[in-house]
Amino acid sequence: MPEQVDPNDLWARLRGGMQWEIPDNRQVRDARAYYLAQDRYFEAVTERGALYLHYIVEEIERRNMPMELALLPLVESTLNPFALSSQQAMGLWQIMPATGRTLGLSSDWWYDGRRDLRESTAAALDYLQYLHDSLEGDWLLAIAAYNGGVGRVGRAVLGNSARGRRTDFWSLPLPAETRKYVPRLLALSSLVGEPDAWELALPPLANAPAFVPVPTGGQIELARAAELAEVDLPVLQALNPGHLRWATSPGATELLLPPERADLFRQRLATLSPEQRVSWQHYRVKRGDTLSRIAQTFDSRVDLLRKANKIQGSLIREGSTLLIPQGAYARGALAQRGGPAQIETRDYKVRRGDSLYRIARRFKVKVTDLIAWNALNPQATIYPGQQLTMYVRGG
């Protein structure tokens, strides 16, 4: 009888879409041992996978691509959308800035599409399909090119071909990192594909959407959105990691929310008064700027600029950052005690011995907010001289 597949198990769904035959060679065996030796690795990726993996699986199914590709973010970032490499690769798929621009991902002070689940997944899968089509229709070469660059892999293929040598991945002269990268994806595929063979107990992973997109009607502070939806702020930030700051970008139109919270959010959002829907812009002061000129440019007012940025008098410095409240009812929102009026922008240079926990405690903010405000990798260490931006509420 055919094996019964649990329709509620996302691992089983993923397993059912796998297409590759995994070679039994030293590189794959070493990579498999590498993953099996990591303590709580699969617990960690399953916890994150509960938020992200169902969407990735559905997108790969929709495109009729090999399901093994759904495991690539495990290799790249351990399914951590906040991951940032030393080369500035970012997000689940670790997309480089130049690659992101080439793929049409937007990036500004408020938002980076490389961290957005839907945008980055679409871009990464588009790119992988392009690499596959450009490299002899070979998925292993495409994966190698995703890591090492299509130019490098293409030159290696041409070089081997000219010498009468094989042009498969295993035969190419590629950098050591790429030679380890592809076997790691294959090793993960074998572990997920046949967990019993490796005495691996995969934690349960529900085969159900973790979010739905909900219109916001414009810019909104994440803390307010979390309050409206009765969702913990870290959960909201984890579902919307593309938003780099304490509020959505001025051009944002929706947030991702847990399905069971969507209706509540819609209902409460509809009751927000204009005073609670102040729009915020981020602006860097240029030579010759004055508060009155900036206020006129952004249809705001000088007194609101002073209050929002804790400015005494009219002196502003070139290169400094201003938060600009906009909207006819900005005065009312700024007047609310504990609301946006009490936010002070503060730059902080990391000192020797600092940690995110110590900085957060010193300035009475949350570590999760420090991470979100500065697009940090929660697993990375901060270093002396690193510049951090904080939004500190005054009294």
Q: Which residues are catalytic?
A: 76
In the chain the first and final C-alpha atoms are separated, in Å, by 69
3-state secondary structure the chain: CCCCCCCCEHHHHHHHCCCCCCCCCHHHHHHHHHHHCCCCHHHHHHHHHHHHHHHHHHHHHHHCCCHHHHHHHHHHHCCCCCCECCCCCECCCCECHHHHHHCCCCECCCEECCCCHHHHHHHHHHHHHHHHHHCCCCHHHHHHHHHHCHHHHHHHHHHHHHCCCCCCHHHCCCCHHHHHHHHHHHHHHHHHHCHHHHCCCCCCCECCCCCEEEECCCCCEHHHHHHHHCCCHHHHHHHCCCECCCECCCCCCEEEECHHHHHHHHHHHCCCCHHHCCEEEEEECCCCCCHHHHHHHCCCCHHHHHHHHCCCCCCCCCCCEEEEEECCCHHHHHHCCCCHHHEEEEEEECCCCCCHHHHHHHHCCCHHHHHHHCCCCCCCCCCCCCEEEEEEECC
